[in-house]
Amino acid sequence: MSIAVVHKDSPEGRAAIVHGARESASRGEKLLILHVLDDVNLAQVDDGAALRGEIQSALDAGGFTEHSWELRTTEHEGDPVTALVDLVHGSGTTLLVVGTRRMSAIGKFLLERPLQRLLLEVEVPILVVKDELPPE
């Protein structure tokens, strides 16, 4: 069994990785990072070093320097959400962690379209996290 995290190079994506590592450690389950490749980032992931570096930096910043994790990637054919749903279904995941940005009241009502689809199409529980608020 594993805790899966949707990787996105953004503050909310990094927050999701840290929360996923926390859940993984507390449950004693494997941490699995899921990443959907597109034309923009396909070239830079040929060896995966840059992507792995981003993920490890997020873990380091969250205090999980020694935490082990696995990366799974897939390409999409025009629909990254379907590719992500397929990754989740084939991973033996017990929880999916997704980062989202802070939204206005209307944004909260409508949700982001990709997040809304994930909530409807993924069969496992989903933990939605926001990035940390900057100190005042």
Where along the chain do its domains lie?
2-130
Q: Which amino acid is at 54?
A: E
The per-residue pLDDT for range 11-48, each reduced to its tens digit, is 889 999 999 999 999 999 999 999 988 755 555 545 57
Write out the H or E segment, with its range, that includes residue 96.
strand 93-100
Q: Token pair of 134, please?
A: 């900057």
pTM, two decimal places: 0.83
Among 4-18, 43-57, 77-91, the range scoring the smallest mean pLDDT is: 43-57
Q: What angle do CA 100, 58, 83 make, to 5 degrees?
A: 50
Is the pLDDT at 100 greater than 90? The verdict is: no
Among 70-74, 86-90, 130-134, the range scoring the smallest mean pLDDT is: 130-134
CATH superfamily label, 2-130? HUPs (3.40.50.620)
